[in-house]
Structure 1
């Protein structure tokens, strides 16, 4: 795709439209690329300029694939061609608590220290932002975790985004995300909870169910929405 002059589409507009399309489906640019069957790094910001500073453009084939994968029309894609919006890296570790944008983190990162406070709420630096595609009345503190790998198949695929509400009351058969004190993060179904332990059913039938002592649980949060 070559750059045009005058009032034609700009490099920034084209890439901005891809970012907006990813936001609309609660995906990161890499998640959108994976969903379209492309290399996960195809839409990374580092790929948008060559080593010598020249502009690099997404191919018409890759745009066609993401439109097909998301069900978006070319007309919808054109409406997204506006300056960069809510999807960006968060400056100075700021965590948005209100509005339609929420913090986003990959499952692999979630197991590392420094991303959550003692209650399982977003904290620290390193978070991205994604548009929450539900009503703007979501409770403060919700955030998104991007599924990485195939361990949650067939329910959740690589690149799906789970919207999580920390601090919410969880009940039997709720889908939850659990972080252990050893740093393991997992999405499961809560089968039962006793005063001393929780029993979790795995989403993937190839993985066994888990029983974890409450003393070993760092936090547990309810999954309230998933992009699929």
Structure 2
């Protein structure tokens, strides 16, 4: 278990409840700065663990179980299929369709009437959508027929699995290898397929994959 895994799980839990890290802290009755990036390191630069008390308050405030939080830490999936929340229907299209016009607005949110719908565990991001994987380009991580839930508002860090759309309409699911002020580097899941690197100006949006049905 690594420090960054714990903090990433906290950020994901916040996003799934429609909150920022500060908003999550306030809901839990903590100081709003408790989970700020500046609080994640000691003054000498060493990583800092969140306190067990703050984690307990966060789980109580969100209704999440320790098991569900551990799943977030492991990175296996960001939502428990046995979510305590009732399901809701979210828009679904095939990944191959996602590059076509009419499915996303300029902000990268799903629009239009060409979407199907699927009922899945509750997602905090009201703009979340689902994509169905086709082909073998993302094996062995995602296989043909798998469905992924994508959150436009979830925080993104290096190593996350993401969906990226370029300004030219190309859509791809990759692992975020690096993002700087000027470039985005993406790693393919399937070693038989090339990695990609784009100028940031060539990227329309990057959304995080937060759940997969596998």
After TM superposition, the score normalised by the length of structure 1 is 0.54
1:116 aligns with 2:107: no
Q: CA RMSD in A?
A: 1.4
Identify unmatched segments of 5+ residues in structure 2: 1-85
How do residues 37-116 of structure 1 correspond to structure 2 at under 5 angstroms? 100-116=88-104
Q: Give the CA deviation at 1:205.
A: 0.7
Structure 1 residue 183: Cα displacement: 1.3
CA distance in 1, matches of 2:172, 2:96: 10
Task: Report Cα offsets for 1:11-51 as digits up to 9, x if no partner.
Answer: xxxxxxxxxxxxxxxxxxxxxxxxxxxxxxxxxxxxxxxxx
Structure 1 unmatched ranges of 5 or more: 1-97
Partner of 2:148: 162
**Counterpart for residue 209 of structure 1:** 195
Shift, 1:99, TM fit:
5.6
**d(CA) in 1 for partners of 2:153 and 2:184?**
16
CA distance in 1, matches of 2:155, 2:183: 16
CA distance in 1 between partners of 2:172 and 2:188 (Å): 9
Matched residue of 1:158: which SS?
Answer: coil
Q: 1:137: how far off?
A: 4.8
Determine if contact 2:165/2:203 at 8 Å carries over to the other structure. Answer: yes
Q: State the alpha-carbon separation in 2 of the partners of residues 157 and 99 from structure 1.
A: 24
What residue is the counterpart of 2:128 in the other structure? 142
Answering whether residue 157 of structure 2 is matched by residue 182 of structure 1, we say no
Q: Provide Cα deviations, 1:176-197, integer angstroms capped at 9, x if missing partner.
A: 0001111111111111100011
Structure 1 position 218, deviation (Å): 1.1
The 1:181/1:164 distance shift into structure 2, 3 A limit, reads same
Alpha-carbon separation, structure 2, partners of 1:118 and 1:167: 15
Q: Where does structure 1 differ by over 3 angstroms across 4 or more consecutive aligned residues?
A: none
TM-score by length of 2: 0.58
Counterpart CA distance in 1 for 2:179 and 2:125 is: 24
Give the Cα–Cα distance (whole angstroms) in 1 for the partners of residues 140 and 179 of structure 2: 25
* Aligned residue-pair number: 129
